[in-house]
Structure 1
Amino acid sequence: MTIRQFVFPAAAASLLAACATPMDAPSNAMAVPLIGASGQSVGTVRMWETPGAVSFRIEGNGMSVGRHGLHVHAVGRCDAPAFTTAGGHWNPAMRKHGTMNPAGPHAGDLPNVPVAANGTLRETVVLTGATLAQLRDADGSALVIHAGEDDNMTDPSGNSGDRVACAVLSPAG
């Protein structure tokens, strides 16, 4: 089990280092279904807030083997099969895509996640510089898994391909 961290902005590194990131979601984490292109549930995303960050525990099944791009998208809609209703990446600062792009990254850019040979995804990722209130604003947001690996450079989505799974981060109720 691995934890991948993405630091946004870079100054948040010291804040993130100061707090421990749990490998498993705490009992009070909000859970939402992860939906595949067929419209059926393929897993669960649990999210919780820590000081200066939002953590996501992603558990999925029946996915294609390999590394996949992962991003927070700007709209809380996951209409299968293409999930285009999730809009573009969450990008309130209007930056370019990618952690290796000198004009980036988008606020919603996250590290690639690995799907094992048996089609399972079990990963915890941390989005620093974000709060649940920001992600669960009036129109919500969505956590989207792409078909291919994100190159962390090419705008707008790192050449990560089609959207293959999506979880709605609903507006706060």
Structure 2
Amino acid sequence: MYNASGDMVGTAQLTESPDGVEVKLKLEGLTPGFHGVAVHEFAKCEGPDFKSAGNHLNPEGTEHGLMHPEGPHLGDLPNVEADSDGLVDAELMLSGGTLKEGKDSLLRGEGTSLVVMELQDDGVSQPGGNAGTRIICGEIKSGKGEEPTESPTDPTELNDTQDD
């Protein structure tokens, strides 16, 4: 997760679950108080305004807001609260989302992005909850072909090699 200056200010860990996608968010450097968070439609976090991320992920064409009777967008998430030191350590649930294939996948196409807003999302205003400026962005991509260099070795591979 990066701020408008391109500095890394935290991480987001996404995990598939039966109810959707769990998002573990750790951030620093925010103004104390509540901030809107949403998954946006493109995996492009070009600062300083992050408009390259597009709009909220909304494959069903619903209205914005977790409290809107005709909502929410698939990408709408609950607000997070930064403590008095500007730190966020939160676990959120993106209901209905998936990391698997399909129209509700966060990894479809080139991927999506996770965007944090300057202010609290009011949960009903269109199109984005009157949450102010986009201040933090992180790209959500499949990572296929980008295997971590610190992955554990498979001992059976070694055994097969010795048997030849």
2:109 is equivalent to residue 138 of structure 1: yes
User: Match for residue 81 of structure 1?
Assistant: 48
Larger Cα-atom Rg:
2
TM-score between both structures, scaled by the size of structure 1: 0.78
> d(CA) in 2 for partners of 1:121 and 1:53?
21
2:139 is equivalent to residue 168 of structure 1: yes
Q: 1:172 offset after TM fit, Å?
A: 5.2
User: Match for residue 36 of structure 2?
Assistant: 69
Q: 1:63 offset after TM fit, Å?
A: 1.2
User: Match for residue 92 of structure 1?
Assistant: 59
User: Match for residue 24 of structure 1?
Assistant: none
SS at match of 2:81: strand
> d(CA) in 1 for partners of 2:35 and 2:117?
6
Percent identity reads 38
- 1:128-152 deviation digits (Å, cap 9, x = unpaired): 1111131011120001000000000
Q: Which amino acid aligns with 1:111?
A: P
Q: 1:118 offset after TM fit, Å?
A: 0.4
User: Match for residue 86 of structure 2?
Assistant: 119
User: Match for residue 40 of structure 1?
Assistant: 7
5+ residue gaps, structure 1, are 1-33
- RMSD of Structure 2 on Structure 1 (CA): 1.0
Q: Which amino acid aligns with 2:108?
A: D
Aligned length: 140
Q: Which runs of 4+ in 1 moved over 6 A?
A: none
Check whether the contact 1:137–1:172 (CA below 8 A) recurs between aligned residues: no
Q: 1:51 offset after TM fit, Å?
A: 1.5
Q: Which amino acid aligns with 1:60?
A: L
